[in-house]
Structure 1
Amino acid sequence: MTLKCVAIDDEPLALELIKTYVKRFPSLEMVQTFEDAISGAEFLNHQQVDLLFLDVNMPDITGVDLARSLTNNPMIIFTTAYRNYAFESYELQALDYLLKPIDFKRFTVAIEKAIDFQKYKSAAKDPATDEAIYVYSEYKMVKIMLKDIEYIESMGDYLKIYQTKADKPLLTLLTLKKILEKLPKQQFARVHRSFIVAKNKIKSIHHKKINLAHAELPVGDAYKDFINQQKGI
């Protein structure tokens, strides 16, 4: 698998550094680089690429606005010297957000995410055998192993994902409806307007209460059939 890459940055030295880093990865191919954001955007709207390194602060158009204008949807790694665009990168579901000067070790982490996510997208999906999902949290994409999820709680437009191997829940901008589309039905169930539970993490069900190792969840009236389906627990 080779990821076709494009880099757009109005700083020539920054482009050269990215090109140098990219050459160290056999699985990456730098197709084109642009110092001009407008030319880069035109190229991207006519060519399909896998990964875009995109500077945020450019004179003609910001990287954020450029990303919003794209008709194709490559994975995006934002590069910038400024932290104040982090929310915009989160909103656009960027793969990662690298601060300049870019450290090679940190660059490697971002590339590993890109390769991992590309494999995830390219794989033939069988919901019964999925092992992980990807969500955006703290301005980057995070891989979550399904076996580690205990339950998920809705907080309006946000979700808290509780994992058995984590000290605190992971927060992501997502709805229960959307995350249910990512989760295999054989392993997870919605039991309340605010909760999804991992079926294999249920210890017992009593009086419309689901007991887990680290929590007790209510079963909503609209989901009471779930209790009847779990009589074997």
Structure 2
Amino acid sequence: MEKLKCVAIDDEPLALALIKNYIEATEGLQLLQVFEDAIAAIEYLSKYPVDLLFLDVNMPDITGLELYNSLAVKPMVIFTTAYKNFAFEGFELNAIDYLLKPIDYIRFKKAARKAIDFHQHKQQKEQDPSDHLFVYSEYKLIKIEVKAILYLESLEDYVKIHLSNGKMIMTLATLKKVIDKLPADKFRRIHRSYVVAIKQVQSVANRKAQLSNDTLLPISDSYVSFIEEWKSN
């Protein structure tokens, strides 16, 4: 198994040493560098590819959130923090996990396993497209059957994935990013905010598509060609 290339960033020497020891003791992880200086870390990350960051939230020159947002290429990230209320902010950034200090090794390994699993699924998806969609939601990698998807709904920075069993999964992504992971012949955009599974459309009337669960979705002028395409299927 290819190891994840890791960098740890924390202005506290003892906390950084602990993370360093944990990374070196964990199968599947390879430590590249550790940094107490956030600015030096940014310079390094702009030059060298990294798979996973262990990133402290509270640092004097720049916060972990600001550092991560400044990166042109954003690797997976596990935030470390002494503050419990950070969890929601970490979710907003689509973090793999967050670790509350003081960090014990069992909890560290659990977070590392999430990162390893996510990386493996991502690689598998790129190499071997299947009938499943993998998305990251609430610190978990979710596997969704493509045939179970009714439609996608865009809500600013999030996408709601509506399923035929009535469940809904929310992921931090653009609608285009999710569409690109789906079979092009099975899904169509009908509105700036909606993508439908073509076979789930039961009827079309008054510029609205009625789905198999009786949901009505608008068809905008920009995507009205969908109506003729749907008729021919």
TM-score for the superposition, normalised by structure 2? 0.76
Cα distance between partner residues in 2 of 1:108 and 1:166:
34
Alpha-carbon distance in 2 for matches of 1:158, 1:71: 20
- Name the structure 1 match of 2:197: 198
Paired amino acid for 2:151: Y
Q: Give the length in aligned residue pairs.
A: 228
RMSD, matched Cα: 3.3
Change (3 A) 1:63 1:227: same
The alpha-carbon distance between structure 1 residues 31 and 127, as it changes in their structure 2 partners (threshold 3 A), is: closer
Q: Corresponding residue for 2:175?
A: 176
What aligned pairs does 1:30-179 form with structure 2 within 5 A after superposition? 30-86=31-87, 88-123=89-124, 125=126, 129=130, 131-135=132-136, 137-138=137-138, 140=139, 142-147=141-146, 148-164=148-164, 167=167, 169-179=168-178
3-state SS of 1:77 partner: strand
Q: C-alpha separation between the residues in 2 aligned to 1:72 and 1:54?
A: 15
Distance 1:113 1:188, change over 3 A: farther
Q: Report the Cα offset of residue 85 of structure 1.
A: 4.1
Deviation at 1:123, TM superposition (A): 4.7
Q: Is the 8 A contact 2:26 2:109 kept in 1?
A: no
**Is the contact between residue 94 and residue 172 of structure 2 (CA under 8 Å) also seen in structure 1?**
no
Question: What do the CA deviations read for 1:37-76 (whole angstroms, capped 9, x no partner)?
Answer: 3333333333322111010112232212222333553222
Cα distance change of structure 1 residues 32 and 218 upon mapping to structure 2, 3 Å threshold: closer
**1:217 corresponds to 2:216:** yes
Q: Which amino acid aligns with 1:132?
A: L
Give the 3 Å change call, closer, same or farther, for CA 107–231 of structure 1 in structure 2.
Answer: farther
Q: Report percent identity of matched pairs.
A: 48
Per-residue CA deviations over 1:197-232 (Å, capped at 9, x if unaligned) read 2335x273253532324x423351544443443458
Structure 1 residues 118-154: Cα deviation after superposition (integer angstroms, max 9, x where no partner): 334545737963622334x44x464342434332223
> Any unmatched runs of 5+ in structure 1?
none
State the match for 2:184 in structure 1. 185
